[in-house]
Amino acid sequence: MPEFATDGGPTAARESGSPGSVEPPGSGGAGAAVRSEDPPGSRDATGPASPSSGQPVKFYQVGSFAVGNRLLDPSYRTVQSDALRTNALDSGHRACQGCGEALGARYALDAAMRATGGSMVAVNATGCLEVFSTPYPESSWRIPWLHSLFGNTPAVATGVAAALRVKGRPEVRVVGQAGDGGTVDIGFGCLSGMFERNDDVLFICYDNEAYMNTGVQRSAATPPAARTATTEAVGDEPGNPFGQGKNLPVLAMAHDIPYVATATVADLHDLERKVERAMEIRGARYLHLFVPCPLGWGAAPRDTIRLARLAKETGLFPVFEAEHGVVTAVSQIRRQVPVEEYLRPQGRYRHLFDPADPDGPPARPETVRRIQEIADRNIARYGLVGPAGSDAPGEAGPSDPSGRPYETGEAR
Amino acid sequence: MLRQIEGSRAVAETVALCRPEVVCAYPISPQTHIIEAVGVLVRTGALAPCEFVNVESEFAAMSVSIGASAAGARAYTATASQGLLFMIEAVYNAAGLGLPVVMTLANRAVGAPINIWNDHSDAMAVRDSGWIQLFAETNQEAADLHIQAFRLAESLSLPVMVAMDGFILTHAIERVDLATQEQVDAFLPPYEPRQVLDPADPVSIGAMVGPEAFEEVRYLAHLRQVDALTAIPAVASEFAEHFGRSSGGLLRPYRCEGADTVVVALGSVLGTIKDTVDAMRDDGLAVGVVGITSFRPFPAAAVREALAAARRVVVVEKAFSIGFGGVLSTDVAMALTGSGTPVTTVVAGLGGRPITGASLRECFEAAAAGRAEPLVFLDLNRSLIDRDLERSSARRRTGPTAENVLRDLGTVASGPT
Ligand SMILES: Cc1ncc(C[n+]2csc(CCOP(=O)(O)OP(=O)(O)O)c2C)c(N)n1
Ligand code: SF4
Ligand SMILES: [Mg+2]
C-alpha cells in the first residue's frame, strides 16, 4: 500500500474517526449489489481481521469487489466507505440515476483529496460532469474548480500548474478531467501537448464511450456495433463501424509519461489505489476510467457497476498500469465471461439480439463473434487471463487487500 | 533609456519589466521575435520568477494563459492572424471569465490565400470577444501600451490585446525610450486577483448560465468595457506623469483645428497619414487626423466630439467586412449618427500592400472636393480584377481565384487552367 503523504486533513480525520458510527452514503447502493454466483471466501474475508474494525462481519458482502468493503480492517477500507471522508463532489448534482461518471468522479477525486490532504484544484471540460455539477448559481464542487472549454482542459490545467509552481505552491496538485469526447477527440491535441511536456497534471478521462451531454453521439471511444445517435442501428451494418477508434491509454503510454492507468467504477479499491499512486508521482499522469452511462447505453441504472465489472471480466476493457511506457501491472480476469453477457443488458446493442426473443441466441452472431475477438485479442495482448490459480480468490495477502494485480512485466 | 531597437525586442523587454509569471507561446510570423526574446529573458533569469511554456497550438497558448490567470498568476501571450483565429474560442472564454490576460497581436492578414504581411483582419475578427483592443501607432507606443495594458487588465478584470502592425512595427528598428524596472514597478502593482483557485477557499469558476441570466451577464460585460472608457485615459495620464511621455488614451486628434476633412485610422498607418496631412496643410488644405487607440471599447462620444467640426470624414482601414464594407467606419458612422456628416471608407494596405502618401493624398483630395465614393479600395489593380471577372464569366467554376490572379501578374509559374 502506498503511504499517504498527508498529515492532518482528511487522512487524520479518517483514522481518528470511529468506524461504523455513521452509515457512509453510497456504500451500500447499487455498487454493493452482490451476484449470487460470486465465489465465497474472497480476499475480503481473508483480510486482516482486526478487533478494531468495529463492525460485525456481514457475509452478504463476501466476494463483492464493490463499494465499501466494510469487512476490512479500517486501514484497508476504501475512501468511500468512510463516513468522515471529504467530498469533492457533493450530493444534489443533477446526474442521471446510476450515472457512472458521477460515481467515478467522486471516487477518483475523493481519493485524490485524501492523497493530497485536500490540496488540489480541478479543471473540467464541457460535458455531462460539468453540466450536472454546476447548474448556475449552484455548484456541487467542494474543491476549487474551473471550467473553461470543451477541448482545452489539459492546457488550462497546465496553466494552473505553471501558476502554482511560479507562486511557490507546489503542494497544491492539479487534476484535469473530461469525458471521452473531451479527451480522445477534441481535447487530444492539448492532451498530447500536456503529456509531451510532462506537465505536472493528473488527467482523468471518464470514458462512457460517447458524447453523452449532447445526446449520445459517437466519439472515437465508441466501441464497434454500439448504437449512438450518429451511428444508428440501421442499415446493413448497424451501429458503430468496426476497425475504428482510438486507444487512448496506449497513446498516452507512447508519450513515455511516468504513469498511465485504466480502471473501472466496479473496483473501487483498485481505482483509489491508482489515484493515490498517481498523486505520488510528479509529471504528466493519465487515468482512463470506465464509467457506464445508463442513459446513453440504454441500461438499467442498477446495472452500472455490474456492466463496469463485465467490461473488465470479458476483456473488452483491459485494466492495467504502465510506467514510462511499459506495462507494469495487469488486473487479471477473475472469471472470464463471454461478451454476450455484457452486450445483452445494453440497449445500444439491442440490434444484435432478436427483439422477439431478447434472451435467445444473438440475431447477429457474426457481430457478437467479432466483438468476442476484440476481447480475446485484449486478453492475449495484456495477459488478462493468467496461469490457472495465479489470482485465485483468497490469495491476496494482508499486505495486498486490494487484490493488487500481479506483475507481468510485459511491454505492450 | 533611449535605445535603437527592433519593435519586437522593445515589446519583449517591456513585457519582461511587467513581470509576467506565466508566458505561453506558439510561433507565428510576425510575432516570433517577441516570444523568442521573452524566452531568452526567462532562460537567463532576467525575468524571474516566470514559467515559459512552449505549447502545441495557439488554442493551448490562450488556454494555458486562462489557467494561469485563474490560479492567480500574471499571464502573457502573443500571436497573429491564423494564430488568433485558431485560439478564438479561448479568446472569448478569457474575456467571459474576466481574466486579465495580456496579449500582443502582431497584426497580419488572415487567409486564404495565406499571407504573412500586415493588415487588421485578425483584430477585427475578435472585435466582439470582450477584450480591450488597443492599437499602437509607433514602437514607442507599442512598448508603453503593454505597461498600461497590465494595469488596465488587472484593475478592470478584463483581458487586453495590444495590436501592433506586423513587420511595419514588429520588425522596424527605431528609437524607443525603454522604461526602467523601477518606473514599471512604481506604476504597476503586483497582480491581486479578485477570485483565485485556492484550496483554502474553494470556488467554482465557469458555471453554465442559461437564458434566465445570460443577457444580464453580457450586459455587465458591456458595462465593464464602458468603465474602461474612463479607465483608459486615466491610466494614460498617470502613465504620462510617471514616464514623462504620453502614450495611449482613447484617441488622438492631430491638426484638427479648422479641418473640413478629417481622416480616421488605427495603427502605424497614422504616420503616413500625418505626413500626408502635413503636406496638404502646407498647401492650404484644411485636413486633420484622428488616430484611434482604443478600438474596443469604442470611444463613440470622444469620436463624435473630435469630429464635431468636420464636414466630411474619411476612414482609412486595413480590413473590411466582405460583402459590406468598412468595420471601423461603421463604428465611426454610428458615433456620428444624426450629424449628417458623410463618411468615406478607404480600404487600404490589405495583406501588406504599401500605403503610399501619394495615393492617400489623391484620395483625401477627392474626398475634400466631395468626389469620393462611399467605399474606396486604394490602389486596386483594375486590370487584374477585370481579367478574372472575364474568365469567370466565360467559365464558372468553384475554388480559389488566387492562383489565376498570380498567373496574370506573372508572379508564379503554373500550368494551364
Ligand atoms: C468546441 C465545442 N464543440 C462542441 C461542443 C458541444 N459539446 C459539449 S459537451 C459535448 C459532448 C461531451 O462528450 P464527452 O466529452 O464524452 O463527455 P460526456 O458528456 O459523455 O461525459 C459536446 C459535443 C462544445 N461545447 N464545444
Ligand atoms: S447522460 Fe450518462 S453520463 Fe450524462 S449524467 Fe446521465 S448517466 Fe451520467
Ligand atoms: Mg462521453
124-183 of A, contacting B, C-beta below 8 A = 124, 130-131, 134-137, 139, 141-149, 151-152, 155-168, 172
The residue among B255, B296, B289 whose CA lies nearest residue B273 is B289
Q: B316-364 pLDDT, tens per residue? A: 999 999 999 999 999 999 999 999 999 999 999 999 999 999 999 999 9
Give strand pairing partners of B133.
Answer: B161, B296
**Residue in A134, A163, A197 nearest the CB of B21:** A163
Mutation target vs B (from A152, A197, A279; most B CBs, 10 A cutoff): A152
The residue among A61, A108, A59, A64 whose CA lies nearest residue A88 is A108
pLDDT of residue A69: 55
Pocket test for ligand 1, best of A96, A124, A126, A190 (most atoms within 8 A of CB): A126
pLDDT of residue A83: 76
pLDDT of residue B338: 96
* Domain range list for chain B: 2-243, 251-377, 382-417
The residue among A200, A187, A386 whose CA lies nearest residue A279 is A200
At B402, the pLDDT band (50, 70, 90 cuts) reads confident
pLDDT of residue B411: 64
**What residues in A contact B69, CB-CB < 8 Å?**
159, 163
Establish whether domains B2-243 and B251-377 are of one fold. Answer: yes
pLDDT of residue B247: 96
Q: B27-72 pLDDT, tens per residue? A: 999 999 999 999 999 999 999 999 999 999 999 999 999 999 999 9
- For residues B245-282, one letter each, b for 16 or more C-beta atoms within 10 angstroms of the residue's C-beta and e for the rest, the string is eebbbbbbbbbbeebebbbbbbbbbbebbbebbeebee
Say what the ipTM of the complex is.
Answer: 0.95
The residue among B177, B222, B12, B28 whose CA lies nearest residue B106 is B28
CATH annotation of B2-243: 3.40.50.970
The residue among B141, B81, B114, B87 whose CA lies nearest residue B266 is B141
Q: For the whole model, what pTM was predicted? A: 0.89
Mean pLDDT score, B291-310: 98
Give yes or no for a contact between A74 and A50, defined as CB atoms under 8 angstroms apart.
Answer: yes
Check whether domain B251-377 has CATH 3.30.870.10, yes or no = no
Give the amino acid at A364: R
Yes or no, beta carbons of B66 and A152 under 8 Å apart: yes
Q: Output the residue whose Cα is nearest ligand 2's atom 3.
A: A293
Answer positive or negative: Cα dihedral of A302, A303, A306, A311.
Answer: negative
Indicate the SS3 state at residue B161. strand
Listed as own residue / partner, the contacts of B333-339 with beta carbons closer than 8 Å and 24 or more positions apart are: B334/B300, B335/B298, B335/B300, B335/B301, B335/B303, B335/B304, B335/B307, B336/B303, B336/B304, B336/B307, B339/B304, B339/B307, B339/B308
Distance A211 CA to ligand 1 centre (A): 6
CATH annotation of A100-395: 3.40.50.970
pLDDT of residue B258: 97
Q: B351-361 pLDDT, tens per residue? A: 999 999 999 99
* Domain range list for chain A: 9-77, 100-395
Alpha helices by DSSP H, listed for B307-398, are: 328-335, 357-368, 382-394
pLDDT of residue A112: 97
Residue pLDDT tens, chain A, 412 long = 333 233 333 323 323 333 333 333 333 333 332 233 333 333 333 333 333 444 444 444 444 444 445 566 777 777 887 777 888 999 899 999 999 999 999 999 999 999 999 999 999 999 999 999 998 788 999 999 999 999 999 999 999 999 999 999 999 999 999 999 999 999 999 999 999 999 999 999 999 999 999 999 999 999 999 999 999 999 999 999 999 999 999 999 999 999 999 999 999 989 999 999 999 999 999 999 999 999 999 999 999 999 999 999 999 999 999 999 999 999 999 999 999 999 999 999 999 999 999 999 999 999 999 999 999 999 999 999 977 544 433 333 333 334 433 333 333 3
